[in-house]
Homo-oligomer: A and B are copies of this chain.
Amino acid sequence: MIPIGKAARAAAYILALAPTDVKNTALRWMAEAIQQHSAEILSANKKDMELAQQKNLTAAFLDRLALNKDRIAAMAQGLITVADLPDPVGRILAAIKRPNGLQITRISVPIGVIGVIYESRPNVTADAAGLCLKSGNAVILRGGSESFYSATAIVAALHEGLHKAQLPTTAVQMVPTADRSAVSEMLKMDQYIDVIIPRGSQQLVDHIAAESRIPLFKHLAGMCHTYIHHAADKEMARKIVLNAKMRRTGICGATEVLLVDQAVVQSHLPAIINDLIQAGCEIRGDEQTVKLDQRVKATNTKDYDTEFLDAIIAVKVVKDIAVAIEHIAQHGTQHTDAIITEDNKAAEKFLQEVDSAIVIHNASTQFADGGEFGMGAEIGIATGKLHARGPVGLEQLTTFKYRVQGNGQVRG
């Protein structure tokens, strides 16, 4: 692993200075190479799929692993989208003229070398490579062992694009073994890797967090709440809750827990429960919710701390906004939480006091997404508080330095 780290560090120096048009050209060549080599990528993916099918993996897992023409086209398109985004490097973040004449400029620069550790989705290979390249970072990719052949074929295509644009192919490297010990080694290479982005299950993230000597942009569970305040518009609440839970149940921005003010349990909750059940959602409610509808199951103690990522929602009636905020502080994961209310003072209190990366008033928690935030593309949602918080897009893959320009100043 050390030679990979060294090569990445060397590539990072070159990428940091690469002009925008060279990076964009590389991204477009990479997209073209992905398309041109789709047959090889598909046949590598077939090999992964065959091995995976022998391992008794879930249907959902196999679906994430599978590639087809459309998914390959989407991967290529993703690279073109990133090429079209503005370059995040070289932005002037602050400029100060000091009384002594020093001109101090804070300017965005790449972070350096980024390690991405992910699980079964082979498309992460191209997505992560594209975002890291555009932000001037070298990347070391470590995919799940199940997607090893697919990722290898994708990286081969990406290298062709880099080569054509005369950028070092070591800008995008893949850990060349599916052996688990390589991850442990990678997590100790703080000399060569500046940040690790883990993408995958909670277990994967926990495991990496426990072992890593390198800072992480970590994505903890998305225990998202939607809170219906007593001043909520009923029809808006129905529409938002249904979307927040059911639009896609497997994403981190899906609402997992519904909190409802005592005062609107009778007026608002029955229709919301009915909407959800009609849409195929299982409801796990507290005592009051169970009484409202016989189709509601009783919650168990774990339900308010479970990221279902499925068509299941836990419902809890709360006395007031203070109890709702307290519940979120106790059970949330500082990802995304929403209030529905027509009372702007209550909304303001919620937005101020809930300490989550994304706090929402009168909209669906499913908007927790870099694309929806106008970032164009993202590599995940960070639930940590430092550097990157919320969607991790190109900007979050940069850091900054201070350029100080003088004409002979010395300090007194």
Contacts and interface: CB of A to CB of B under 8 A. Distances in A.
Contacts of A353: 13, 17
Contacts of A402: 357-359, 373, 390
Interface stretch (A119-127, A155-163, A166-174, A235-243): A235-243
B363 A111 contact: no
Contacts of A408: 233, 236, 239-240, 362-363
B374 A98 contact: yes
A403 interface: yes
A86 to B, nearest CB: 14
A247 interface: yes
Contacts of A369: 411
B363 A404 contact: yes
A335 to B, nearest CB: 11
A384 B401 CA distance: 11
A403 B411 CA distance: 42
Nearest to A375: B96
B362 A405 contact: yes
A386 B98 contact: no
B403 A359 contact: yes
Number of this chain's copies in the complex: 2
Nearest to A216: B215
A153 interface: no
A407 B342 CA distance: 9
A350 B372 CA distance: 39
A40 interface: no
A244 B404 CA distance: 14
A303 interface: no
A88 to B, nearest CB: 13
Interface string A52-84: 000000000000000000000000000000000
A410 B102 CA distance: 49
A35 interface: no
B409 A102 contact: no
B389 A401 contact: yes
A145 interface: no
Nearest to A210: B213
Contacts of A16: 355
Contacts of A360: 403-406
Nearest to A101: B363
Contacts of A282: none
Nearest to A243: B410
A268 interface: no
Given A362-B406, A363-B102, A411-B364, A387 B387 contact: yes
Given A329-B13, A355-B109, A355-B112, A389 B385 contact: no
A236 B405 CA distance: 14
Interface in A107-151: 109, 111-112
A247 B410 CA distance: 9
Contacts of A363: 102, 404-410
Contacts of A358: 401-402, 404
A215 B387 CA distance: 11
Name the 8 nearest CB pairs between A and B, nearest first.
Answer: A363-B406, A243-B410, A387-B387, A366-B411, A386-B387, A363-B409, A360-B404, A236-B408
30 contacts: A13-B355, A16-B355, A98-B373, A102-B367, A109-B355, A112-B385, A236-B408, A240-B408, A243-B411, A351-B403, A357-B401, A358-B401, A358-B402, A359-B403, A359-B404, A360-B403, A360-B405, A361-B403, A362-B405, A362-B409, A363-B404, A363-B408, A363-B409, A363-B410, A366-B410, A367-B406, A367-B411, A369-B411, A385-B399, A389-B400
